[in-house]
Amino acid sequence: MAENTPEPGQTKIELRHVHKWYGDFHVLTDINLEVGKGERVVVCGPSGSGKSTMIRCINRLEEHQRGQILVAGIELTADIKNIEAIRREVGMVFQQFNLFPHLTVLQNLTLAPIWVRKTPKKEAEEAARYYLERVRIPDQADKFPGQLSGGQQQRVAIARSLCMKPEIMLFDEPTSALDPEMIKEVLDVMVELAEEGMTMVCVTHEMGFARTVADTMVFMDRGEIVERSPPKEFFANPKSDRTKLFLSQILAH
Amino acid sequence: MAGATAGIVRPKRPPPWNDPRVRGIIFQVLFVAAVLGIGAFLVHNTLVNLHRQNIATGFGFLGREAAFGIGESLIEYAPSDTYARAFLVGLTNTLYVAALGIVLATIVGTVMGLARLSGNWLVRKLAQVYVETFRNIPLALQLFFWWGLLRQGAPAPRQAWHLLPGVLVSNRGIVFPVPQPSPVYGWMGLALLIGVAATWAVRRWATQRQARTGAPFPTGWAGVALIAGLPLAVFAAAGAPLHLDMPELHGFNFSGGTSLSPEFGALLIGLVVYTGTFIAEIVRAGILAVSWGQSEAAMALGLSQGQRMRLIVLPQALRVIIPPMTSQYLNLTKNSSLAVIIGYPDLVSVANTTMNQTGQAIEGITLIMAVYLTISLTISASMNLYNRAVALVER
Amino acid sequence: MTDITDRDLPLPAENRAPRTHGVLHWLRVNLFSSIFNTLLTLLALYLLAITIPPVIRWALVDAIWSAPNGNACRGDGACWAFVGEKLRFIVFGRYPYDQQWRPLLVVLIFVSLIIASCNRRLWGRRLGALWLGGLVAVGVLMWGGVAGLPYVETLLWSGLPLTLILAVVGMAFGFPLGILLALGRRSDLPAVRAICVAYIELVRGVPLITVLFMASVMLPLFLPSGFTVDKLLRAQIAFILFAAAYLAEIVRGGLQAIPKGQVEAADALGLGYWQRTRLIVLPQALALVIPPLVNTFIGAFKDTSLVIIIGLFDLLGTVNAALSDANWQGFYVEAYVTVAAIYFCFCFFMSRYSQMLEREFNKSRRR
């Protein structure tokens, strides 16, 4: 997969000296990260390293206490207008899918375009069906989430985010809650998305996917970014001991 | 085994004493026979005993003159009316206090339930104190307390507490002014109906417009403006004729206006405060039941807080809240029967007096139970319909 | 890339956590975090300021702690002398004065049994035997007539012991009946199911008062002439029948939560219906619904106050009787507050216990 180096003015996400505490616990320490347009970043690390917390800070599902975060050129502060503007441009896929169980699949997809982007219903539904087609479950439009398998639900979740036509997609361990046989169908969709040039930040343990798709591998441990390099270098020549330890554990089988 | 019946081999029927179907039938026959047998025994004894004590049977007494007064009533009643009319008065009193109680308890309970979830520590704790205190004290005791407060704690009419101009609390009850009848109120009522219809029409138009162009419309506020505003406009246009029938002290009591007896006040306050605690807990549990991930997904999609509440959290919370809430409404209606201990003339109270006078306890109790059963079964059936309609569809 | 920060050195200023301790911070976050919150806090403080000081003045400062009769006790404050004078009557009612150590012992037995039941390690046959023994002891103590204790008729039983007896015996006998009803409601035999459903819906659809009336008025009619039924027994039967219907629904909820696989496994092992129910289904179902069962007991404890209608003097009845004393008129607030405190103690601690149980059960069930 071709590497993408961010051009100036094309940086989509910037984290500068970001710190976060839960009470006394320093969960993010001096995080500095830049993600350029079209860049695919995979974040990995042991549990509790702060990877999910970091990407959840990007769309303000968590608040950072110190440092600056800029998303699509907008600074992320307590200002609700900024937050809403950023959330419109950033799509998020959760580990637990979080589909709305009282709405059909189609309604799940059209809800945000109708109420946030004020799209007319017909247009929203056309777009929804298009994305359902893209994630390869066009015939499930009128079913309810409870009637779908885990892999199908996660693909619907991806389509739901895509319907908002975001500039950036965040994935928070998207396949960790799936049964093994369903992981591939979700990863295939994510690979397609990457191939089309979507800017992605993905927290995952799926190293095969990382090798295929990532432009940059980021290793986090105990709240810090320990190492950052292209996948070839990352897997072949990890610089830090902690990275080496983590890779040995995760690639052992 | 070739032959005319080739292809179909049925398993051999077991002997009847081992056949579970036969055993089941025999067991049921014995069971029903036992129940009927006991029932017949009881009925026989009852008839004998009633005959011995010269107590009449049958519902004929309903046509006889009641010969007792009823303290308060929504409909016309005099002691010369029949027992049937007395029962009707009791029934209307029960339904009145139950309906009012349900509305007020829902308001109090919802406010308290939300308070329990508030970010403000003081508000949270105070709501918790309210819930824990009134939930753990029997309703009967609370009723006696409020009744005592309203009868003995309140002063004589001459020194009544002035809560608001025209609203006075004394040991004879609460009096407040009522507007004198005027044709304007009829027009206002009409305007209200028009407001409701208009809101509905606006809603339809707005939904269609949003589907077409995507532009939202604040139907909620428009509805409030129409439903409240139209009647007010009529009122203003008619020159705002507000003539209140103010209660005035004549001698030892008030005349004019309308009054609520201490019994009614105590029953209403007790029921609302007590049932409110359970409703508060139900509301709290319902909102907590919606997983935080739902809110996060809504936030990640860019929905505002109001949209998030309206479109995602509340619909799911209501599914969890409404079934136990209706069960509490049912409890409140049944608990209104405690009126008999403080002398409010509800259905049970009136039936009790009737039973004491005529001695026909069985018929009286049957009537009471029939009424409450009807109310319960109606509410249960509606609940089941509602549950089926909104059930989340799963595999 | 970046070197690992040495965590043994003192943290530089920019790495220290922002102030999250201290009273000021807590106040800011919990009470004054926004304009709306600040207004709420001020409103709440105002309400407290106008209610708490007068209540304290009434209950403590101006209160009169001892007085010979009602008139000497009238002041601005509470008359706790009334409570002191009447407390024994409120708690034990019309039980013969010199024999009141017996109902006192009964109350202590009940309280210890309830506390013992909270200890999970005792659950099982031993606890059942303890309760059985306890109930027999209660019966012997209250009735007397044996072991040198003078006989006391049930009409004189009153106050707190009566409340406890009605609630406990009601649950104790209502529970097996409720289990049978729940099993019957889930039965495949239509006649059995119909009768159980009819009973449960009938009893749950009517107020407790009507069931009490029914028992009190109709039971004597149901029996052949010459038989009389003790008034307390009538009330007790009403409570048992009433509790059974509510307990049946709770047990049914537990039965429904048992996965079908359990029944299938039991069948595959060759167990019959009653064996399967007794050994496999019921133990699991009952364990699931213990918190709602405790809540039902709390409800039963509160509902005993209704027997005032049929002329029995439970805790609420005795307090009303105490208030009718001509020498001590008008101290209803003191009396009701005292009795409310007694009810509150029992109910509050039981409900806390049930909440604790629920939390434990949820923890163990979460995978």
Contact C361, C113 (CB under 8 A): no
> In this predicted structure, what is the pLDDT of residue C20?
62
CB atoms within 10 A of CB C130: 15
Q: How far is it, in rounded angstroms, from Cα A3 to Cα A40? A: 9
A21 interaction partners in chain C (CB closer than 8 Å): 17-18, 20
| pLDDT classification of C17: cutoffs 50, 70, 90 | low
- Provide CB contacts within 8 A for A178, sequence distance 6+: A150, A151, A154, A186
Rounded to 10 degrees, the C-alpha dihedral C60/C65/C67/C73 comes to 10
> In this predicted structure, what is the pLDDT of residue C6?
47
DSSP state for residue B313 in the 8-state scheme? I
Rounded to the nearest 5 degrees, what angle is found at the Cα of B24, between the Cα atoms of B20 and B29?
A: 150
What residue spans of A59-97 are helical by DSSP H?
Answer: 80-89
Q: How far is it, in rounded angstroms, from Cα A38 to Cα A5? A: 9
Q: How far is it, in rounded angstroms, from Cα C167 to Cα C319? A: 18
Q: Are strands B253-255 and B258-260 parallel, antiparallel or unpaired?
A: unpaired
Nearest CA in chain A to B212: A120
> C256 touching B, CB under 8 A?
no
Out of A26, A66, A227, whose CB is closest to C1? Answer: A227
| pLDDT classification of A179: cutoffs 50, 70, 90 | very high
Out of C48, C207, C220, whose CB is closest to B337? Answer: C207
Q: How far is it, in rounded angstroms, from Cα C346 to Cα C339? A: 11
Strand partners, A221: A224
> The dihedral of CA B163, B166, B167, B169: what is its sign?
positive
Interface of C with A in 1-20 (CB under 8 A): 1-2, 4-5, 14-15, 17-18, 20
Q: Averaged over A22-33, what is the pLDDT? A: 91
Contact A110, A124 (CB under 8 A): yes
DSSP state for residue B65 in the 8-state scheme? B
| pLDDT per position as a tens digit, C273-283 | 888 888 888 88
> In this predicted structure, what is the pLDDT of residue C107?
93
Does the pLDDT value for residue A1 go beyond 50?
A: no
Give the ipTM.
0.87
Q: Which of A72-86, B3-17, B280-294, B314-328 shows the lowest mean pLDDT across its residues? A: B3-17
State the average pLDDT for chain C: 86
| pLDDT per position as a tens digit, B76-133 | 888 888 888 889 999 999 999 999 999 999 999 999 999 999 888 899 999 999 999 9
Q: Count contacts between B and C (CB, < 8 Å).
A: 161
Interface of A with C in 190-229 (CB under 8 A): 224-229
Q: Which residues of B touch A (CB under 8 A)?
A: 210-216, 291, 293-294, 296-304, 307, 311-312, 315-316, 319, 390, 392-395
- Provide CB contacts within 8 A for C211, sequence distance 6+: C203, C238, C241, C242
Does the distance separating the beta carbons of A26 and C1 come in below 8 Å?
Answer: no
Q: Averaged over B15-43, what is the pLDDT? A: 87
Mutation target to probe the B interface, by most B beta carbons within 10 A, among C302, C307, C324, C350 is: C302
| pLDDT per position as a tens digit, C332-342 | 898 999 999 99
Strand partners, B248: B255
| pLDDT per position as a tens digit, C61-107 | 888 888 887 788 887 788 888 888 889 899 998 888 888 889 999 99
Q: How far is it, in rounded angstroms, from Cα B287 to Cα B294? A: 12
Q: Are strands A11-22 and A25-36 parallel, antiparallel or unpaired?
A: antiparallel
Q: Between the CA of residue C262 and those of C161, C259, C284, what are the distances in Å?
A: 42, 6, 10
SS3 at position B74: coil
Does the pLDDT value for residue C5 go beyond 50?
A: no
- Rounded to 5, what percent of chain A is helix, strand, coil? 40, 25, 35
Out of B214, B301, B316, whose CB is closest to A118? Answer: B214
Which helix or strand (DSSP H or E) is residue B258 part of? strand B258-260
- Chain C neighbours, 3+ Cβ pairs < 8 A: A, B
Does the pLDDT value for residue C212 go beyond 90?
A: yes
Q: Averaged over A221-237, what is the pLDDT? A: 92
> In this predicted structure, what is the pLDDT of residue C232?
92
> C101 touching B, CB under 8 A?
no
Q: Which of B95-104, B233-242, C301-310, C314-323 shows the lowest mean pLDDT across its residues? A: B233-242
> In this predicted structure, what is the pLDDT of residue B358?
85
State the average pLDDT for chain A: 91
SS3 at position B270: helix
What is the biggest distance separating any 2 CA atoms in chain B, rounded to whole angstroms? 108
Q: Which position has the higher pLDDT, B391 or A7?
A: B391
Contact A12, A1 (CB under 8 A): no
Helix H, strand E, coil C: the string for B143-168 is HHHHHHHHHHHCCCHHHCEEEECCEE
| pLDDT classification of A120: cutoffs 50, 70, 90 | very high
- Rounded to 5, what percent of chain B is helix, strand, coil? 70, 5, 25
What is the biggest distance separating any 2 CA atoms in chain C, rounded to whole angstroms? 100
> In this predicted structure, what is the pLDDT of residue A7?
46
Q: Which of A72-86, A147-161, B229-243, C16-30 shows the lowest mean pLDDT across its residues? A: C16-30
Q: Which position has the higher pLDDT, A168 or C35?
A: A168
Q: How far is it, in rounded angstroms, from Cα C348 to Cα C174? A: 23
| pLDDT per position as a tens digit, B169-211 | 888 888 877 777 778 888 888 889 999 999 999 999 999 999 9
Q: pTM for the whole thing?
A: 0.85
Strand partners, B253: B250
Does the pLDDT value for residue C3 go beyond 70?
A: no
Percent of chain A with pLDDT over 70: 96
Strand partners, B167: B164
> In this predicted structure, what is the pLDDT of residue C2?
43
Strand partners, C167: none
Helix H, strand E, coil C: the string for chain C is CCCCCCCCCCCCHHHCCCCCCHHHHHHHHHCCCCHHHHHHHHHHHHHHHHHHHHHHHHHHHCCECCCCCHHHHCCCCCEHHHHHHHHHHHHHCCCCHHHCHHHHHHHHHHHHHHHHHHCHHHCCHHHHHHHHHHHHHHHHHHHCCCCCCCCCCHHHCCEHHHHHHHHHHHHHHHHHHHHHHHHHHCCCCHHHHHHHHHHHHHHHHCCHHHHHHHHHHHHHHHCCCCCCCCHHHHHHHHHHHHHHHHHHHHHHHHHHHCCHHHHHHHHHCCCCHHHHHHHHHHHHHHHHCHHHHHHHHHHHHHHHHHHHHHCCCEHHHHHHHHHCCCCCCCCHHHHHHHHHHHHHHHHHHHHHHHHHHHHHHHHHHCC
Mutation target to probe the C interface, by most C beta carbons within 10 A, among B38, B46, B122 is: B122
> In this predicted structure, what is the pLDDT of residue A6?
42
Contact A43, A20 (CB under 8 A): no
> In this predicted structure, what is the pLDDT of residue A223?
93
